[in-house]
Amino acid sequence: MTREQFRPADHPNEHFILTTVVGSYPKPKWLDRARGLRDDPEADFGEAEWAEATDDAARLITTEHERAGLDVVCDGEMRRNEMVEYFAERIPGYEFNGPVKVWGHNYFDKPSVTREVEYGERWLGAEYEFASEVAARPVKVPITGPYTLASWSFNEAYEDDAALAYALADLVAREVEELVAAGARYVQIDEPALATTPDDHAIVGECLERIAADVPDDVRLGLHVCYGDYSRIYPEMLEFPVDEFDLELANGDYEQLDVFTEHEFTKDLALGVTDVHVGDVESVEEIEANVRKGLDVVPPERLTVSPDCGLKLLPREVAYGKMANMVAAARAVERDLDAGAIEGGEPASAD
Amino acid sequence: MTHLLASTPGLFPLPDWAKNRLGDLKGHQKEGLVHGEESEAVAGVYGEARAEVIERQREAGLDRIVEGQLRWDDMLAHPLCIHDAVETRGIVRYYDNNNFYREPVVVDELGFDGDVAAELDAASELLADADAGGGDAEGHSDGGDADDGTASRGDGALQAVLPGPYSLAELATDEHYGDAAAFLDAVGDFLADEVKAFPDVETLFLSEPSLVVDPPGAGADERASAAIDRVAGATDADVVCQTYWGALDERVHAHLLDADVDAVGYDLLTEHEASMYNINEYGTKEDIALGVVDGQNTLIEEPETIAERVAWVRENSAAAFDTIHATPNTGLFYLPVGKFEAKLDALGEAVALQGVRA
């Protein structure tokens, strides 16, 4: 069981609903200013100053996650810029040619794969090692999945996007191996691109096979898929070699929950219980009701709760409020389960 | 003799300097997007950028020059998104790309607008000024004969680009007309009226990706063709109905040929065999447009490669064509600016080779 290792020693309830985040978190404003200085050739601000600034931000946000009461924390991806660029900058074989439009005046530095991709320097070693040194709680490592890294790039070098995705999967597998060697016990593969092209779920499955092949049993492997038509990938996705699926369901007001009850959910569910597209902090009661919806799908010992998606576009105090209320809601549901006030309180069998 | 033209289906990326200046002026939220009445400062940036992309197409030696549609924040949906009878709502996905546009919801009768005509007037003036000044364009305007009977007309004339009525209706939501047939007719009439207000253009491209990716069913296919016919009938220009992201269903293709357009455009990048099958099995118009440059990949094709793609169609087609429009398969806003410009150059050079080796 990969999950019990994350139960804090001082956990107050018998039931344990694991609370965590998807990954990204609003950056402190001073870190954005520091990035501006780093990119300004006129400024007296070099790599050493930048390293200090990112360490400070990582420490600040990791402890902010702990203060919110999360069982598993991360550093809010303070060292990363965007979810594809950050990795593409570290993978030989990628090059950047300038911004492309996403919508309106919002652009993305979509990189091009111009030759065979290779594993060069480590991608997340510093991030994981620093955060786990700072944190008293276990640290989760979110990592952009190979299918998304392939789909959100221009492919100049491989026969098709599947071939590129498989090549990238081998690199992700290598990075996961490094992270595990460094002590990581909770790795989450992020595949937002799967939500837009669900017909490619078999390609994602093959990528995950390559990544999971050498991951030890005591390492928890999760998959995050953003909001989309989940009926087009479920129940097929249950075949993926991961322990847990992290799904964005609060955003659609749980209209798709039925999808997951029609066919038994045989993996752990990390349920999105606060909506990251809403600028208000939901009340503890409101989030509690969302947490309980997860119990319609899996028994409590297979339920994780997190915000729907990364929190980075929210104001920082709102992001914090959502995390803190989410933890309070999970603890309240655990108490009700302990008291037998909720059906499903008894550990359920997998059938 | 076949005339070979280098052309594009528009939807260009903004120059990077304009991305930055417009981001500052308009902001990054949907409230700031173009609604038809921009401030002088915003209009000024678009004017400068328009002049730049027109000059850039002339430099590349393209035979048809488009306005670039740099103001089209909502890609093909623009003519509705800025219309008075339309409300824009949430941001929705643009086909299955990682791009988004404001959902246009038609809430009243679609009357004449004139927005696209105004853009084309501005482009037309810029072209006239450039011609008067001699310009430094290298348009291959000699029209000389090539060994294989291919010539380039190369007059750098103005080309208009619009969404086809079927795609535009598919991208929008109707809350006024009440049924799909009436809505498609209304969108067709609206576009026809817009076209009537255009300045003189040599060619009109109607982009119809939805005919491929979201094909009309029985009955709707005939209506789509009739709507396209109505828009085409509103101009004396040569009309090209550009289809992309795959090949047309046979039935949709057959109906499309009933529309009085001068050419159908086929996407040779995504499904060349199926496109070729349609061309030979059902015939096509006397002119043809060929998507032979990948509008969504930064890999810059060699001019020879582009020429070979055109030659492949000529070799495998049962018919000869009066005019071939060689184009990127899609609009070009997907690309970083440097790569976009390199694509224009490669296309211009491919056509200038003239010896599109048959």
Query: What would the two tokens of residue A290 be?
Result: 């969302």
pLDDT digits (tens, 9 = 90+) for A234-253: 999 999 999 999 999 998 89
As a whole number, the mean pLDDT across chain A is 94
Closest residue on chain A to B338 (Cα): A97
Q: Which of B297, B333, B338 sits opposite A154 (nearest CB)?
A: B297
pLDDT, residue B193, reads: 98
In chain B, what residues touch A82 (CB-CB under 8 Å)? none
pLDDT, residue B138, reads: 45
Confidence tier at A196 by pLDDT (50, 70, 90): confident
- With beta carbons less than 8 A apart as the criterion, state whether A327 and A304 touch: no
Confidence tier at B199 by pLDDT (50, 70, 90): very high
Q: Is B205 on the interface with A (CB under 8 A)?
A: no
Q: What is the DSSP letter of A165?
A: H
Q: Does residue B135 register a pLDDT over 70?
A: no
pLDDT, residue A55, reads: 97
In chain A, what residues touch B335 (CB-CB under 8 Å)? 100
Query: What would the two tokens of residue B270 be?
Result: 């995504």
| pLDDT (mean) for B75-100 | 93
pLDDT digits (tens, 9 = 90+) for A114-136: 999 999 999 999 999 999 999 99
- Strand runs (DSSP E) across A116-231, as ranges? 141-144, 154-155, 186-190, 220-225
Confidence tier at A2 by pLDDT (50, 70, 90): confident
Does residue A75 form part of some domain? yes
pLDDT, residue B258, reads: 97
Query: What would the two tokens of residue B145 be?
Result: 């004969």
Does residue A202 form part of some domain? yes
Q: How far apart are CA B55 and CA B218, in angstroms?
A: 44
Please list the alpha-helical segments (H only) found in B214-302. 220-232, 250-256, 272-282
Looking at the complex, report in whole angstroms how far the Cα of residue B90 sits from the nearest Cα belonging to chain A: 12
Q: Which of A97, A105, A151 sits opposite B23 (nearest CB)?
A: A105
CB atoms within 10 A of CB A94: 22
pLDDT, residue B354, reads: 67
Q: B354: alpha, beta or left, given left = phi > 0 and alpha = psi -120 to 50?
A: left
Q: What is the DSSP letter of A4?
A: G
Poorest-pLDDT segment among A193-202, B48-57, B190-199: A193-202
* A56: CATH: 3.20.20.210
**DSSP letters for B176-196:** SS-SHHHHHHHHHHHHHHHHH
Q: How far apart are CA A74 and CA B116, in angstroms?
A: 50
Q: Which of B100, B335, B336 sits opposite A103 (nearest CB)?
A: B100
Looking at the complex, report in whole angstroms how far the Cα of residue A96 sits from the nearest Cα belonging to chain B: 9
Domains of chain B: 2-69+136-164+198-352 (3.20.20.210)
Rounded to the nearest 10°, the torsion over CA A129, A135, A137, A141 is -40
In chain A, what residues touch B77 (CB-CB under 8 Å)? none
Q: Which of B26, B96, B101 sits opposite A103 (nearest CB)?
A: B101
pLDDT digits (tens, 9 = 90+) for A62-95: 999 999 999 999 999 999 999 999 999 999 999 9
User: Which range of residues forms the domain containing residue A167?
Assistant: 19-80+118-338
| pLDDT (mean) for A248-273 | 94
| pLDDT (mean) for B141-169 | 70
Confidence tier at A225 by pLDDT (50, 70, 90): very high
- With beta carbons less than 8 A apart as the criterion, state whether A247 and A271 touch: yes
Q: Is B217 on the interface with A (CB under 8 A)?
A: no
pLDDT, residue B134, reads: 57
8 Å CB contact of B298 and A97: yes
- What distances in angstroms separate CA B148 from CA A296, A312, B4, B357, one per listed residue? 71, 59, 12, 7
Chain A with chain B: Cβ pairs closer than 8 A: 66
pLDDT digits (tens, 9 = 90+) for A322-343: 999 999 999 999 999 999 998 7
Confidence tier at B139 by pLDDT (50, 70, 90): very low
Altogether, the residues listed in chain A come to a count of: 351
Looking at the complex, report in whole angstroms how far the Cα of residue B174 sits from the nearest Cα belonging to chain A: 22
Q: Which of B91, B299, B338 sits opposite A98 (nearest CB)?
A: B338
Helix (H) or strand (E) holding A1: none
Does residue A10 form part of some domain? no
In chain B, what residues touch A156 (CB-CB under 8 Å)? 297-299
As a whole number, the mean pLDDT across chain B is 92
pLDDT, residue B30, reads: 79
The strand pair at A220-225 and A186-190 is best described as: parallel
| pLDDT (mean) for A293-301 | 96
Q: Is B92 on the interface with A (CB under 8 A)?
A: no
Interface probe, candidates B95, B98, B100, chain A, greatest A C-beta count within 10 A: B98
Interface probe, candidates A96, A103, A148, A313, chain B, greatest B C-beta count within 10 A: A103
Confidence tier at B32 by pLDDT (50, 70, 90): confident
pLDDT, residue B128, reads: 93
The strand pair at A100-103 and A106-108 is best described as: antiparallel
Q: How far apart are CA A201 and CA A186, in angstroms?
A: 23
For the entire predicted model, the pTM comes to: 0.90
Does residue A91 form part of some domain? no
In chain A, what residues touch B19 (CB-CB under 8 Å)? 99, 105, 107
In chain B, what residues touch A152 (CB-CB under 8 Å)? 98
- With beta carbons less than 8 A apart as the criterion, state whether B36 and B88 touch: no
Query: What would the two tokens of residue A2 be?
Result: 């990969």
8 Å CB contact of A196 and B336: no
Confidence tier at A344 by pLDDT (50, 70, 90): low
- What distances in angstroms separate CA B314 from CA A82, A174, B5, one per listed residue? 45, 48, 14
Q: Is B73 on the interface with A (CB under 8 A)?
A: yes
Give the B window 296-355 contacts with A, CB below 8 Å: 296-299, 333-339
Q: Which residues contact A135 (CB under 8 A, 6 or more apart)?
A: A62, A63, A65, A66, A73
8 Å CB contact of B298 and A112: yes
8 Å CB contact of A155 and B297: yes
In chain B, what residues touch A144 (CB-CB under 8 Å)? none
**What value of ipTM does the predicted structure carry?**
0.89
Q: Is B280 on the interface with A (CB under 8 A)?
A: no
pLDDT digits (tens, 9 = 90+) for B304-345: 999 999 999 999 999 899 999 999 999 999 999 999 999 999
Closest residue on chain A to B296 (Cα): A154
Helix (H) or strand (E) holding B132: helix B115-132
8 Å CB contact of A100 and B334: yes
Count Cα atoms within 13 angstroms, Cβ side, for B246: 14
Enumerate chain A positions whose Cβ falls within 8 A of a Cβ in B: 97-108, 110, 112, 151-152, 154-156, 193, 196-197
**DSSP letters for A180-197:** HHTT--EEEEE-THHHH-
Coil vs helix vs strand at A83: coil
8 Å CB contact of B32 and A156: no
pLDDT, residue A197, reads: 87
Buried-state track A55-92, b at ≥16 Cβ within 10 A, e below 16 = bebbbbbbebbeebbbbbbbbbbbbbebbbbbbbbbbe
Q: Does residue B110 register a pLDDT over 50?
A: yes
- With beta carbons less than 8 A apart as the criterion, state whether B158 and B201 touch: yes
In chain A, what residues touch B31 (CB-CB under 8 Å)? none
| pLDDT (mean) for A267-293 | 96
Q: What residues does B293 pair with on adjacent strands? A: B328
- Peptide linkage before A235 cis (omega within 30 of 0): yes
The strand pair at B238-242 and B263-267 is best described as: parallel
| pLDDT (mean) for B38-60 | 97
Q: Which of B13, B28, B333 sits opposite A106 (nearest CB)?
A: B28
Q: Does residue A99 register a pLDDT over 50?
A: yes
pLDDT, residue A1, reads: 61
Q: How far apart are CA A226 and CA A96, in angstroms?
A: 26
Q: How far apart are CA A170 and CA A221, in angstroms?
A: 16
- Please give the tally of structural domains in chain A: 1
Q: How far apart are CA A165 and CA A79, in angstroms?
A: 24
